[in-house]
């Protein structure tokens, strides 16, 4: 079964930075547009950043200018660099394809708190 494995979360103070990683099997990753999603406590999962196989990116307004999505096709890994973190960024972060989604991974918890 194809797995998505997210890592890199943690507890950080407001204004801090984290870099998330998501590893997948190459067959699950190659040529697919990938996205980072997040689910804040008590809320629905939302898409925050997406990247095409060619590297084109798009961001939710709430993270634009602070988050950067990137990918390494050779490693079948997608990254999310998060800067200037705010308490409202607190959530479990997941990666997945934009279409033909795979089973969700366990996610990685990001907590922004002073």
pLDDT digit string, tens, across residues 60-95: 999 999 999 999 988 999 999 999 999 999 999 999
Residues in CB range of 15: below 8 A, 6 or more apart: 84, 85
Q: Residue 27 is inside which H or E element, if any? A: helix 26-29
β-sheet bridge partners, residue 19: 81
Residues in CB range of 78: below 8 A, 6 or more apart: 21, 22, 24, 29, 34, 36, 51, 69, 70, 71, 72, 95
The pairing of beta strand 18-24 with beta strand 4-7: antiparallel
Q: Over the stretch 20-46, which tens digit does the pLDDT of each residue have? A: 999 987 777 888 999 999 999 999 999
């Amino acid at each position: 079964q194809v797995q998505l494995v997210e890592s890199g979360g943690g507890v950080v103070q407001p204004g801090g930075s984290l870099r998330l990683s998501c590893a997948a099997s190459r067959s699950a990753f190659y040529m697919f547009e990938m996205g980072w999603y997040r689910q804040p406590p008590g809320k629905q999962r939302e898409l925050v950043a997406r990247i095409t196989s060619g590297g084109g990116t798009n961001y939710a307004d709430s993270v634009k200018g602070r988050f950067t999505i990137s990918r390494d096709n050779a490693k079948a890994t997608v990254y999310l660099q998060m800067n200037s973190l705010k308490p409202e960024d607190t959530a479990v972060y997941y990666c997945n394809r934009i279409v033909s989604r795979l089973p969700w991974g366990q996610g990685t918890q990001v907590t922004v708190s002073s």
